[in-house]
Amino acid sequence: MADTLTIRTAGHVTVQDLGRVGRSQHGLPVNGALDQYSARVANVLCGNDERVPLLEITALDFACTPSADILVAVTGAPARLTVNGSARSQWEPVSVRAGETLRVTDIRVGLRVYLAVLGSFDADYLQGSCAPDTVLGFGPALRAGDTLTLRTACPPLDHPYSRIPLFRLRAPAAPFTDGWTIDVTDGPDRAEFGDSASRLYDTPYTVSPQSNHIGLRLRTDTPLPRRTTGGEVLSRGVPVGAVEVPTGDELLVLHRGRGVTAGYPVLAVVTATGLAALGQVRPGQTVRFRHRTLGQAVAAHRARRTAIDALAVRVRTAFVTLRIPVPVGS
């Protein structure tokens, strides 16, 4: 029989990957891990291709037990990570023996934790991705007792006497804070807001409890930016990260589950690095927007891409040295 990973405490956990890239032209939301940076790093730390399935654990406690020895990596929001009660480090590979229970508890500051397994596990796919789509009813959340079929086992990898972790790979962990600064570039309708556009950057916004993977609702006690031009905004394609300004008393920021068309004016667009941070913002926390040029946004994205690529080289070197099997295609 195939080796499995059994869910013991589910909380709210889903099987994710990086989403349905290129499917928006067919009307499908991209979906996928909301904190793409943490998800990518988790898979890289396991020697995996960045795009393979992993677990996204949101807010609540989680526990699982493998039937074989495995190697995992846990990234994302700060949390308490234990294996059979012993504390382990996030943002580093962790060895878990068959029958041991891995727990993720006390998720704090951020909202989402990512758990990758060396070799990944089997998952169902829709249009090239295993990411859930709530509109289509695909990819329900996992429940206690569910099992995932593991693709690769890994012999135990810890010191037999001192219990000192074998890995110090210096993964570039994302910063987490109670107050978030989200980078944005000008949106297609920036000119229609005149001087009121600066209000986007002058005040903090509070994230509403009605926020989800489709979009975040943001409120403030000060006046919102307002269009200075009249006329109806026709429905059109909108990007992930669009900062929309409806006629009401809140802003909408579209995330990876957004519909591909909308009819509100778009004042700004969240950058790629800003989107990863936005995927960690909790309801009730505050965000401030920071204006960036396209050049600055591209440079920040490239810097993160370079950091991930450098980490992948360190991981591969360590795995070859320790004779850890590198998954095929990674």
Tokens coding 179: 């107050």
Is residue 160 scored above 80 in pLDDT? no
**Closest by Cα among 249, 241, 304, 303 to 274:** 241
pLDDT tens digits, one per residue of 111-141: 999 999 999 999 999 999 999 998 889 999 9
Mean per-residue pLDDT for 185-197? Answer: 95
pLDDT given at position 188? 94
Is residue 330 scored above 80 in pLDDT? no
Is residue 179 scored above 90 in pLDDT? no
> Other C-beta atoms within 10 Å of 210: how many?
10
Find tokens 């998720």 and name the residue: 107
Tokens coding 204: 């903090």
Provide the 3-class DSSP secondary structure of residue 309: helix
* Top-confidence residue, 155 or 11: 11
Distance (Å, whole) CA 180 – CA 209: 16
**Closest by Cα among 243, 238, 229 to 186:** 243
Find tokens 């406690």 and name the residue: 61
Is residue 26 scored above 90 in pLDDT? no
Instruction: Tell me if 210 sits within 8 A of 248, measured CB to CB.
Output: no
Q: Please, how many CA atoms are within 13 Å of residue 83, restricted to the half-sphere of its CB?
A: 22
Instruction: Tell me if 91 sits within 8 A of 41, measured CB to CB.
Output: yes
pLDDT given at position 235? 82
Over the chain, what is the mean pLDDT? 92
Distance (Å, whole) CA 37 – CA 171: 12
pLDDT given at position 329? 57
pLDDT given at position 158? 64
Distance (Å, whole) CA 94 – CA 119: 14
Distance (Å, whole) CA 37 – CA 322: 26
Distance (Å, whole) CA 221 – CA 200: 12
Mean per-residue pLDDT for 192-204? Answer: 94
Binned at pLDDT 50, 70 and 90, residue 57 comes out as very high
SS (H, E, C) 248-281: CCCEEEECCCCCCEECCCEEEEECHHHHHHHCCC
Distance (Å, whole) CA 63 – CA 275: 27
* Top-confidence residue, 326 or 42: 42
pLDDT tens digits, one per residue of 70-107: 999 999 999 999 999 999 999 999 999 999 999 999 99
Mean per-residue pLDDT for 254-273? Answer: 93
Binned at pLDDT 50, 70 and 90, residue 211 comes out as very high
Determine what percent of the chain is predicted with pLDDT higher than 90.
Answer: 79
Is residue 245 scored above 90 in pLDDT? yes
pLDDT given at position 19? 96
Determine what percent of the chain is predicted with pLDDT higher than 70.
Answer: 96
